[in-house]
Amino acid sequence: MHLSSSLALLLATSVSTVFAKRDTSPCSTQPIIEKGDLQIYTYHASPLPLVYQQSTDLSFSPTTFTLISTKDEAVLVDAPISPERGEELADWINATIPGRKLTGIYVTHGHGDHFFAIPTIQKRFPGARVLATQEVYDHMLQQIEPGFFASFWAALFPDLKAPDLSDINLDILDPSTTLSFYLSSGNGHHEEQYELRAVPVGEGDTVNSTVLYVPEVKTVITGDVVYGNCYQYLAENPTAELRSQWLKSIDKVAGLHPQYVIPSHALPTDNYEKNHLNETKTYIETFEQLLAESSSWQQLETSLKGRFPQREGSFILRYSTQTFFNASF
């Protein structure tokens, strides 16, 4: 992987066809998107049980991690929540791209379920550098601040420990130079480079969100800006203005004109099509409508279940609805 302050010459592959495949296996080692020497793989981590309001009846949302690879090197998009989940993902990476080098871990946004296992991944793949914007990295540090970590993450997952980020290999992506980095394949006159472009969009389900765009295959890995069939986290969007900003961020993703969209919270049975853009917007707009009609979090939760019965992520639904009625965490 090459970090550069100017756009490198991107060489077109000799194969122009993009092959997109749908595989409902959560941990398939087959690419979901393939063009020439560039492949994209997805790993679906199952929902995590948790403790909330003295109950273990709820679970965290399933989470998708994306691996972008050439025949020589690869970049992982986001990392799981715990060391155990990180080890499982590392095993999958080794099985999926044996003999190739993991050179980067791109972090889409600062929520802990997208980066806590980075030290575990870097221990398994010592050459992998963390890639993030300054705003995302600052948010990551806020998530592991002792007071916040204890009150939120450790309260949900009592065995979870805050990761130590002091020794991670880190590259901050600077928009004043470039937000692009590259995967290489081959060498010398036969070297090809594929651009991976970080795109800050602003508000998603949290502040300072980004997506990662792969122009060669017109694919966007959307972090938590776009959702699949999982309940959307709206606890950090308490005002109509913030929810409106999220809608505008989705429009920014649509402005990239992607052919494929990979949300971070999706089901293994979900597709990777553009329909996720409009469906994420529809959920926010429906939430707005039902919130105005609800007099309690219970009513709002029941209404959302009725409108979106296929979605998963019971804790996110519960916590989001309770936030709007000042329910106690």
User: Which pLDDT tens digit goes with each residue over 258-269?
Assistant: 999 999 999 999
Residue 177: CB atoms within 10 A of its CB come to 11
Token pair for 249: 């961020």
The residues near 11 (Cβ < 8 Å, ≥ 6 apart) are 191, 192, 193
- 2-323, what's its fold? Metallo-beta-lactamase; Chain A (3.60.15)
* Mean pLDDT estimate for the chain: 92
The residues near 32 (Cβ < 8 Å, ≥ 6 apart) are 20, 21, 22, 23, 40, 41, 42, 262, 272
Query: Does position 216 have pLDDT exceeding 60, yes or no?
Result: yes
pTM: 0.92
Query: Does position 142 have pLDDT exceeding 50, yes or no?
Result: yes
Domain residue ranges of the chain, discontinuous segments joined by + = 2-323
Query: Does position 27 have pLDDT exceeding 90, yes or no?
Result: no
When pLDDT is cut at 50, 70 and 90, the band that residue 253 belongs to is very high
Cα 248 to Cα 135: distance, rounded to the nearest angstrom: 19
When pLDDT is cut at 50, 70 and 90, the band that residue 20 belongs to is low
Cα 294 to Cα 290: distance, rounded to the nearest angstrom: 6
When pLDDT is cut at 50, 70 and 90, the band that residue 13 belongs to is very low
Cα distances (angstroms) measured from residue 40 to each of 35, 53, 219, 261, 299: 9, 39, 9, 12, 41
Residue 106: CB atoms within 10 A of its CB come to 25
Query: Does position 26 have pLDDT exceeding 90, yes or no?
Result: no
Query: Does position 21 have pLDDT exceeding 90, yes or no?
Result: no
Using one digit for the tens of pLDDT, what is the confidence trace for 278-301?
999 999 999 999 999 999 999 999
Q: Return the H-helix or E-strand segment holding 228.
A: none
pLDDT value for 2: 46
**CB of 75 closer than 8 Å to CB of 68:** yes
**CB of 94 closer than 8 Å to CB of 67:** no
Cα 293–chain centre separation: 31
Query: Does position 321 have pLDDT exceeding 80, yes or no?
Result: yes
Q: Which amino acid is at 31?
A: P
Query: Does position 327 have pLDDT exceeding 90, yes or no?
Result: no
Query: Does position 329 have pLDDT exceeding 90, yes or no?
Result: no
pLDDT value for 22: 54
pLDDT value for 254: 99
Q: Please state the rounded mean pLDDT for residues 221-247.
A: 98
Q: Return the H-helix or E-strand segment holding 159.
A: none
Token pair for 316: 């996110």
Using one digit for the tens of pLDDT, what is the confidence trace for 150-189?
999 999 999 999 999 998 999 999 988 889 999 998 776 6
Please state at what angle helix 275-293 crosses helix 240-254, rounded to 10 degrees: 170
Cα 147 to Cα 153: distance, rounded to the nearest angstrom: 10
